[in-house]
Amino acid sequence: MKRALIIAVAGVVTVSASAAQETWPSRPVKVIVASAPGGGLDTYARMLAHGLSDSLKQQFLVENRPGAGGNVGVDAVAKSAPDGYTALVAATAAITLNQYLYKNIPYDAERDLAPVTQGVTGPSVLYVNPAVPARTLADLVTLGKRDPGKLGYGSAGVGTSPHLGVRLLEEATGARFLHVPFKGVGQANQGFLSGQVQFMLAPVATALSMIRSGKAMPLAVTDRTGLLPSTPTIAEAGFPGVEISNSFSVLLPAGTPAAIVRRLSAEAGKAMKSPMLAEKFDALALVPVFDTPEQFAAKLKRQRQAWSAFVSRGGIEQVR
């Protein structure tokens, strides 16, 4: 009798999970983007939402929640109902580094979020105002050593990939620069154009128009890209130990039925393979990553270990 009851309960759970996958989504899905409008993360989220809306015949509505290096948006999703109707699109740093960077953070990314897919990776470019007397990355490093803190660089906030990338460069070379955080990549670029900061590390897509117009000079890219074929990678520029990755990821609240997590992962992969989105990704130098929730979870574990070590050795100051 007891064994029969266990089998019956297991059957109910299986049927419920199957039903959840078959009926989801039956109403609009909110996609919270942990950044301000206008940057690469926001662009990716809107492209993905459009693709998912087409393939699943249901609205995926983007809502920007910027602030605190992504913490505001991540926290909103972490506290949402685990029913598959609130999803998160965030830069990976916000879900791997922030738990070590910020004190009294209101959520635990590992505990409160369910990994869906890494989404996309994309190269960033380090570019300077043409008035800065640096024509190579080595020149910029030399300036950062000669006059520590004189040259300022912008970012979308403490703990974002542009901020961390420059901090890694500083740690590897001994150069020192002045960090000026903004509320988004778009505002940071405005600060760059107005002369408030002298250089930036940002996704290629957001900097390309400034580079082509001559308002910014590229010194190095994090990964090879056909959009800037003559610009060397950071390793080729003489700094092979500085490894900077930039990716935009999709997650759901922890406790979301596994069937919905798997379906969203599969549908996101399917959408990113569509000819329309594939062409747009290529134009933005974004490379889709078709991983499973389990593969993505393993990547997050490795990245959290790496960032924990970085913060522990004083690579970056904690934010209260």
Q: For 98-114, how does the pLDDT look when each residue is reduced to its tens digit (9 = 90+)?
A: 888 888 889 999 999 99
pLDDT in tens, 251-274: 999 999 999 999 999 999 999 998
Please report which confidence band the pLDDT of residue 97 belongs to, taking 50, 70 and 90 as the band edges.
confident
Total Cβ atoms within 10 A of residue 177:
23
Neighbouring-strand partners of residue 128: 199, 217
53 vs 123, which has greater pLDDT?
A: 53
Query: Could you tell me the fold of the domain covering 124-221?
Result: D-Maltodextrin-Binding Protein; domain 2 (3.40.190)
Nearest to 99 by CA among 311, 313, 249: 311
For residue 5, pLDDT over 60 is answered with no
Q: Where does the pLDDT of residue 15 fall: very low under 50, low under 70, confident under 90, or very high at 90 and above? A: very low
**CATH 3.40.190.150 domain extents, the chain:** 27-121+246-312
Residues of the chain with CATH 3.40.190.10: 124-221
| pLDDT score at 20 | 56
Position 244 pLDDT exceeds 70: yes
Q: Is 245 a residue whose pLDDT tops 90?
A: no
The pair phi, psi for residue 103, each rounded to 5°, is -85, 145
Q: What's the CA gap between 237 and 240, in Å, rounded?
A: 8
The rounded mean pLDDT for the chain is 89
User: Which stretches within the chain are classed as H helix?
Assistant: 2-23, 40-56, 71-78, 92-96, 98-101, 109-112, 137-146, 161-173, 185-193, 204-212, 258-272, 275-283, 293-312
pLDDT confidence bin for 9, thresholds 50/70/90: low
Candidate CATH numbers 3.40.190.150, 3.40.50.2300, 3.20.20.450, 3.40.50.1820; the one for domain 27-121+246-312? 3.40.190.150
pLDDT of 16 higher than 60: no
Note the helical H segments in 1-157. 2-23, 40-56, 71-78, 92-96, 98-101, 109-112, 137-146
pTM: 0.78
Q: Are 177 and 151 in contact (CB under 8 A)?
A: yes
Tell me the C-alpha distance between 179 and 149, whole Å. Answer: 8
